[in-house]
Amino acid sequence: MLQRLTLKNKLTLIITLVTTVTLMFGFAGITFSYYNENKSSLIEGLEKEAKLIASYSQVHVALNFNDELKTILEDVLIPGAHTSAVCDFDPQQVIQVDAGGGEITDTSVCKSSESVWGNQWLWVTQPVLDVSGEEIGAVVFKVSLEAFYSGVRTFVYWALVFTLLSIAFSYALAKRLQSYISKPILDLEAATNQVCKAENYDFRVPVKSQDEIGSLSHSFNQMLEAMEQRLVERNNAIKEMHVLANYDSLTRLPNRALCLDRLTQAIAKVGRGDNKVALMFIDLDNFKDVNDYLGHNAGDILLIEVSKSLSSALREGDTLARLGGDEFVIILTDFESKTDLANVADKCISAIAKEFSIMENSITASASIGIAVFPDDAATSVELLKAADSAMYQAKERGKNAYYFYEERINAIVARKHTVSNALRFALRKNQLHVEYQPVVNLCSDKIVGAEALIRWNHPELGKISPAEFIPIAESTGLIFPVSIFVIESVCRFISKYRHKLDDDFSVALNLSPAILKQNFLLDKIKMYLNQYQIPAKYICFEVTENTLMNEMERCIQTLNALKQLGSKVSIDDFGTGYSSLSYLSKLPVDNLKIDRSFIDDILHDTNDTAITLAIISLAQSLKLKVIAEGVENQDQRLFLQQCSCEYIQGFLVSPSKTDTAFMMFLREYNEHCNTR
């Protein structure tokens, strides 16, 4: 219905509706306020009058002077029909003067403690007190509300009349005022129809005001002026869209779409002969660090400089494209053998591996390159791109800043990683993971004083999957976060369950991944589980690898200090395999050093392993740290470590990892055996 109204009628209707709603709310508010104010005023006046009569009646009630009380009540000034009364409690009697209110027969009102507003009558009660403050009677007013309601009705009548007159006036005014808005718009509509019918772009709409409608008219005139120019710009835009659709806006290199198109054309061309097509997939190493530490502007500048360097290193006829992010590809058709491809890859690596001056910072870049050849490695452009991508990841795994030719076995490796990754997601949802515990023995007392929590996974179809396989996959896919949280909660649950059977200095060690160590939520999760399972933090020892400390020194120190403040212990795992700075080591809030098993395996025969182990023990003693040797598998290793003042050992000599129930049984039997010796 509203859609069919003209603009003039819509404006009139809207203005009138707004005015009507506003006036009605005002009418309701004023009426409500008038009612409440007059009601309060009436009650307040009567209560004051009752208090006054109560004070005058105190002596007369006490002495039972009923005539004098009637005289006082006759002097009460209350408008309208009412009855005034004084209740005497001793003896029980009611002295009243009826002024149209009728006789008061219900003496219960004499005991009322507050005024009562009824439908027809207002009851006001005021106690009469003697000199000691004891209630000896009460003054009661029964007042008719007819006069009050009559006044309210009169007020409502005239207020409603005023409101309706105001609405009528607003309607008349709205019909007049709407033309100031509707007429210029209707004029603009007429002009638009004229332009459309006559296709006369010289026509102009007169601008009669400086408001939005005037601005609209002015814009309409500008639109007419720009019509012809827009036609020219449209053709230019089509050309620009082609560029944007096929070329990277940052480097101006062909983008993924154009790259795949050219690759498909090249494959189709050589498919008719004996030639081949090679694809190099280039990914910058550690490019994320540039964005994180120097900002995305620096990253964009680096990508531009790298694209220039690669372009200068390529031969004529080679196609360089940017797929997105820090990924580039090169399409090569003119080569004789893999040696030619290796030479091109070396040139590309050399072109990238130089210092770039970016935003007053010197950045040394490097890249990993994967190489795949059609038709040897793939049958289509998409498969060739996928093969080169897989080869590039192999180059990264082999140390980065290198190239790698695609091999068929890579597919099996990638497929296995994909299978394990998907299975791990399912395992987390279905609780297929569990934690086992490997005991740690004190060489002095020969008692088990702790354990290391080790995650285990027995897949129903794939069988037992080693942590050495699925943990790196979890780290690369982000699943390391739920896996780590699972281990932390499992350890807290284990300690809570068996705490009454553990010595006070017993602790369970668990390893923190470098990825989760950098997350802000780690401390909150640890605190949550400590509170949930009601266990002291001293029962948990958090382990971080030496390389993690070196890569994230400041962040690690901050997190480890927070863990120490909770009361937990901290260990450096795999110590001796990284490149620790001794100056930093002295500042770290650590309690233990764990000697990596690689030094323990051949400690009795390899002089280098022996020297490193002795150096670690000596270093720990000088820093007042405990030493734990991992991977102890025979008695000779144990005796040697004991002679070298190593305090703790862990390994198959004591026991492999066990489930929580089996571990607790082994702990009891082992320590009981120690006590009997």
| pLDDT 10s digits, 175-200 | 777 776 767 777 777 777 766 675 66
Q: Identify the three-state secondary structure at position 535.
A: coil
Sign of CA dihedral 529, 532, 535, 537: positive
For the stretch 464-494, pLDDT in tens is 999 988 988 888 788 889 999 999 999 999 9
The residue extents of the domains of the chain are 7-172, 181-243, 256-407, 418-676
- Residue 325, pLDDT score: 87
- Residue 94 exposure: Cα atoms within 13 Å on the Cβ side: 18
- Residue 329, pLDDT score: 94
- Residue 328, pLDDT score: 93
Whether residue 205 is predicted with pLDDT greater than 60 in this model: the reply is: yes
Residue range 25-43: average pLDDT? 86
Higher pLDDT, 438 or 80: 438
| Strands 82-89 and 463-464, bridge-based pairing | unpaired
- Any residues with CB less than 8 A from the CB of 76 and at least 6 apart, and which? 49, 53, 82, 84, 97, 141
Which tokens sit at 376? Answer: 């040897």
Whether residue 3 is predicted with pLDDT greater than 70 in this model: the reply is: no
- Residue 548, pLDDT score: 67
- Say which DSSP state 520 is in: T
Residue range 527-546: average pLDDT? 92
- Residue 514, pLDDT score: 80
Residue range 98-127: average pLDDT? 80
- Residue 202, pLDDT score: 64
**Fold of the CATH domain 256-407:** Alpha-Beta Plaits (3.30.70)
Q: Identify the three-state secondary structure at position 390.
A: helix
Higher pLDDT, 600 or 94: 600
Q: Whole-angstrom Cα distance, residue 139 to residue 141? A: 7
Does the fold of domain 256-407 match that of domain 7-172? no
Judge contact between 279 and 383, C-beta under 8 A.
no
Superfamily of domain 418-676: EAL domain (3.20.20.450)
Whether residue 629 is predicted with pLDDT greater than 90 in this model: the reply is: yes
- Residue 201, pLDDT score: 61
**Fold of the CATH domain 7-172:** Beta-Lactamase (3.30.450)
- Residue 169, pLDDT score: 87
Dihedral (Cα; 39, 42, 43, 45), 10-degree rounding: 150
Which tokens sit at 636? Answer: 């000779």
Residues of the chain with pLDDT > 70, as a percent, come to: 90
- Any residues with CB less than 8 A from the CB of 629 and at least 6 apart, and which? 594, 595, 600, 613, 637, 641, 646, 648, 649, 650, 651
Whether residue 495 is predicted with pLDDT greater than 90 in this model: the reply is: yes
Which tokens sit at 254? Answer: 């062909």
- Residue 576, pLDDT score: 65
CA-wise closest residue to 321 among 388, 382, 246, 396: 246
Peptide bond into 536 cis (omega under 30): no
Question: Could you tell me where the beta strands, DSSP code E, fall in 352-473?
Answer: 355-358, 361-364, 367-374, 403-405, 433-442, 447-459, 463-464
Which helix (H) or strand (E) element contains residue 137? strand 135-144
pTM above 0.75, yes or no: no
Locus of tokens 């003067």: 97
- Residue 337 exposure: Cα atoms within 13 Å on the Cβ side: 1
Whether residue 427 is predicted with pLDDT greater than 70 in this model: the reply is: yes
- Any residues with CB less than 8 A from the CB of 422 and at least 6 apart, and which? none
